Amino acid sequence: MTIAARTSEPAPPPAVVSLHQQQALRRPARVGSIVELVGNTPLVRLGRIDRRTPGVEIWAKCEFANPGGSVKDRAAYRIIADALARGDLRPGIRLIDSTSGNTGIAYSMVGAALGIPITLVMPSNVSNPRKQVTAAFGTELRFSDPMEGSDGAIVEARAIVDADPRRWYYPNQYANDSNWRAHYDGTAREILAQTDGRITHFVTGIGTSGTIMGTSRRLHEHDPGIRCIGLQPDDAMHGLEGLKHIPSSLVPPIYDESVLDDTIWLPTDEGWDMSDRLASDEGLFVGHSSGANVAGALRVAKELHGRGESGLVVTVLCDRGDRYFAPLQWEKHYVW
Amino acid sequence: MATVRIPTPLRKYTQGQEEVSIAAGSVRALIDALESSHPGIRERICDDKGAVRRFVNIFVGDEDIRFLDGLDTPVKDADEVSIVPAIAGGVG
């Protein structure tokens, strides 16, 4: 992939003429298992979003291009691969974890592909399609109290494991080093290669913190000057699914604030509005956490531009928007 | 008195209470009463124009008020009113 030259003019329309040439040069992947398609995602320029910050480019990792449809494929695959290597996962053991969605889909996809039985605990107000897509992979679902949110699912998963510890492998993505290592070895390496090392800022939201921890560690090792910025909802009551408001949550044990150079506190509406804009202006129909990430990246770009500095800001498009078609718009009745 | 179920992120306004009892004839009146007894909570539920925030769902019984009469949805004494974030939150 080549990186477009920095320009002080507004971004030109995408180079459609080179599409056929690009496709002719690209080698289609040919793999023995779907899990080998995890990672190595494309990096896309957000040329319309960053046109008002000339000199500062915004690029985004297309994590929705992972085979399970989200960034969580990376952590799930690495967690399972490492557990198999250690012998924590073996015949007779089920993997159980708490998840409100993408991690569950990722575990389910990897589990089905590798023949590992999966049980997921999720709050019962997770949308029906979320339940159905994981069940389709043969995953067993158990439900926790919707009023207790994702922390309630964590507590419930722990209780199930404690009742019969010999039956379960509980990876606990919040405390599992394989989670952030997937990004240290994958995401960060790819970003450095895809930007020819020109990245100046990395911005992404905090859920388990695996993406920001792993990516930031390697980026800082490469160049301590690269600014790594975490993003959180600005309040405990928020609508940025997948993101955590750390001050009011169980703090993920893998989260180490000292790895970060800064934190952005983002209102839900700013993230939701950017999701809409990414679809209409860039042709990227992505979820709200992706919108929040790009909104955060744009804040950074504007700040740099305002100071007369140039830069290359990278963020993450976590998943597609069609994962969120329910329940508000399409279902009158909620199943609790 | 209607019973209002409070989600975890809003319990800092209700001194940790999971449920609050409130007498009100509509959801709008119920939120007003909730704000008087628990100052600060309305801003987390409604935007500055007074509309329910896009990511907050309010149920009277099992019905989302968006599919009823919105903030004018009547509330009866035995009703259970639930305030639920549109997401489960927290994993990503």
- Same-domain status, A116 and A59: no
Distance CA B13, CA B25 (A): 22
Distance CA A52, CA A304 (A): 12
Among chain B, residues having any CB pair with chain A shorter than 8 Å are: 5-10, 12, 18, 44-45, 47, 53-57, 59, 62, 64, 66-67, 82, 84-92
Residue B91 lies in a domain: no
Q: At residue A156, does pLDDT exceed 90?
A: yes
Residue A10 lies in a domain: no
Residue B64 lies in a domain: yes
The reply to whether residue B89 touches residue A149, judged by beta carbons under 8 angstroms, is yes
Chain B residues closer than 8 Å to A74 by CB: none
Least reliable range by pLDDT among A190-204, A281-295, B1-15: B1-15
Residue A154 has what pLDDT? Answer: 86
**What domain range includes position B46?**
2-85
Total structural domains within chain B: 1
Residue B29 lies in a domain: yes
Find out whether A51 and A10 touch, Cβ atoms under 8 Å: yes
Residue A124 has what pLDDT? Answer: 84
What's B40's domain CATH number?
A: 3.10.20.30
CA atoms within 13 A on the CB side of A319: 27
What's A220's domain CATH number?
A: 3.40.50.1100
Residue A304 lies in a domain: yes
Residue A336 has what pLDDT? Answer: 31
∠ CA A239-A252-A89 to the nearest 5 degrees?
Answer: 110
Residue B92 lies in a domain: no
Q: At residue B39, does pLDDT exceed 60?
A: yes
- Taking only the tens place, the pLDDT of each residue in A254-268 is 999 999 999 999 999
The reply to whether residue A146 touches residue B90, judged by beta carbons under 8 angstroms, is no
Residue A47 has what pLDDT? Answer: 97
- Taking only the tens place, the pLDDT of each residue in A226-247 is 999 999 999 999 989 889 999 9
Residue A22 has what pLDDT? Answer: 64
Residue A51 lies in a domain: yes
- B46 Cα to chain A: minimum distance (Å): 11
Inter-chain Cβ pairs, chain A and chain B, closer than 8 A: 121
Residue A247 phi, psi dihedral angles, 5° rounding: -60, -25
Closest alpha carbon within chain B to A211: B92
The reply to whether residue B57 touches residue A100, judged by beta carbons under 8 angstroms, is no
- A276 Cα to chain B: minimum distance (Å): 14
- Taking only the tens place, the pLDDT of each residue in B50-82 is 999 998 989 999 899 999 999 999 999 999 999
Residue B58 lies in a domain: yes
Residue B59 has what pLDDT? Answer: 94
The closest CB to that of A318, out of B55, B64, B92, belongs to B92
- Taking only the tens place, the pLDDT of each residue in A218-228 is 999 999 999 99
Total structural domains within chain A: 2
- Residue A96 makes CB contacts below 8 A (sequence gap 6+) with A118, A119, A120, A121, A157, A160, A161, A168, A169, A170
Give the end of a domain, one of A127, A148, A169: A169
Residue A152 has what pLDDT? Answer: 86
The reply to whether residue B91 touches residue A289, judged by beta carbons under 8 angstroms, is no
Residue B21 lies in a domain: yes
Find out whether A201 and A300 touch, Cβ atoms under 8 Å: yes
- B89 Cα to chain A: minimum distance (Å): 5
- Same-domain status, A207 and A304: yes
Torsion of CA A102, A314, A293, A54, to 10 degrees: -150
Residue B87 has what pLDDT? Answer: 66
* Mean pLDDT for chain A overall: 90
**What domain range includes position A160?**
72-169
Q: Helix axis angle, A102-114 relative to A128-136, nearest 10°?
A: 10
Residue B60 has what pLDDT? Answer: 95
Residue A11 lies in a domain: no
- B17 Cα to chain A: minimum distance (Å): 12
Q: At residue A8, does pLDDT exceed 70?
A: no
